[in-house]
Amino acid sequence: MAGMNEVNISHIRQDFLMPTGGLEVLRDINIDLRGGEFVSIVGESGCGKSTLLRIIAGLDKPTDGEVLIGGEKVNGVSSKVGILFQESRLLPWYSTEKNISYGLPRGMDRNEGRERVRSLIDTVGLNGFEKALPSQLSGGMQKRVAIARTLAGHPKVLLLDEPFAALDAFTKMNMQDEILRIWEREKITTLLVTHDIDEAIYLGERVVMMSPKPGVIKKVIPIDLPEDHSRTSDEFDAYRREIFKEFFGSDKRMSQWFSDD
């Protein structure tokens, strides 16, 4: 019997019907996540990362293949899966507090819910902004609200779609550490999608590399970093080089990128 929070993605194919004919967006995607594992998917824009997450979340039906969560076939949305969309998607008419409560499971006890929202506000560091509307928050803070809302549902599987792409470098690093802390504490199976190679290495226990047209898995790289995940260590650099070489081939573009860094 599979673990409750194990994810098996097998032979996923997704075609979109376009006026010009069928567009193959995903081809034969296979990924198995152990319960509690953190996997990053990295690939350029348009390679089908969001499409894959939508299928896992049950928002879209794949043309072919299936996704199992805890051994059960995904067939529509379920409370087992929490998805953090690429956009924050906060309700503009709700305060921080209410936006987070919006993610609470249905039929949860009122007091229990209030307590959970309060502790989530603590977790994402939004104390003092409980009553603020989204328009009064910075982009980073809006993202925190969205994260808290997703966690409010107590998902067994967490899907993160480029959660930090729109944030500045400092906020981004803080939030990445926050996500790691939450993941380590709650042991949620997490699938992160990103086009940021450093982010994929820093957060993932494995990095799945995707290439576009059609979206396929190019390579899977297990990441074994020292506890502190230091971004400046030689080990980190070695992974970075490996992934760059895999994506771009030539070392020339790579050295250019490293001097920019």
Partner 1 sequence: MSKKHKILSVCGVLLIILIILYWQIGSERGWINSILLSSPSDIAASFRSLWGSGSLQKHILVSFKRVMIGYVSGAGLGIMFGFILSTMPSLEKLFSFSLAIIRPIPALALFPLFILWFGIGEGSKIMVIAFMSFWPTFLNTEEGVRQADKNLLELADALQKGRVTKMATVLLPSTLPYIFAGLRLAISRAWGGVVVAEMLAASSGIGFLIEYSRDMSQTATMFTGVITIAIIGFTADLLLRILQDRICYWHTEVK
Ligand X SMILES: Nc1ncnc2c1ncn2[C@@H]1O[C@H](COP(=O)(O)OP(=O)(O)O)[C@@H](O)[C@H]1O
Contacts with ligand X, residue ranges (CB under 6 A): 16, 23, 25, 45-51
Chain mean position to CA 43: 13
CB of 121 to Mg ion, least distance (A): 28
Residue 110's contacts (CB-CB under 8 Å, 6 or more residues apart) are none
Instruction: By CB under 8 A, tell whether 89 contacts partner 1.
Output: yes
Q: Which does 57 bind (CB under 5 to 8 A by kind): partner 1, ligand X, Mg ion, none?
A: partner 1
DSSP 215: B
- Residue 78 interacts with partner 1 (CB under 8 A): yes or no: yes
94-153: which residues touch partner 1 (CB under 8 A)? 102-103, 106, 133-136, 153
**Dihedral through CA 60, CA 214, CA 48, CA 18, nearest 10?**
-50
Q: Which does 47 bind (CB under 5 to 8 A by kind): Mg ion, ligand X, partner 1, none?
A: ligand X
CA–CA gap between residue 43 and residue 84 (Å, rounded):
18
Q: Rounded CA gap, 140 and 171, in Å?
A: 7
Footprint of partner 1 on 155-194 (CB under 8 A)? none
Partner touching 16 among ligand X, Mg ion, partner 1, none, CB below 5 to 8 Å by kind? ligand X
Residue 174 CA to residue 155 CA, distance in Å, equals: 22
Q: How far, in Å, CA of 68 to CA of 7, rounded?
A: 6
CA distance 85 to 81: 12
C-alpha count within 13 angstroms, C-beta hemisphere, residue 143: 21
For residue 70, state whether it binds partner 1 (rule: CB under 8 A): no
Stretch 27-46 residues interacting with Mg ion (CB under 5 A): none
135 binds, among partner 1, ligand X, Mg ion, none (CB under 5 to 8 A by kind): partner 1
The item of Mg ion, partner 1, ligand X, none sharing an interface with residue 48, based on CB under 5 to 8 Å by kind, is ligand X
Q: Rule CB under 8 A: is residue 79 a binding residue for partner 1?
A: yes
Cα first-last separation, the chain:
46
The residues binding partner 1 (CB under 8 A) are 57, 59, 77-79, 83, 85, 87, 89, 91-93, 102-103, 106, 133-136, 153
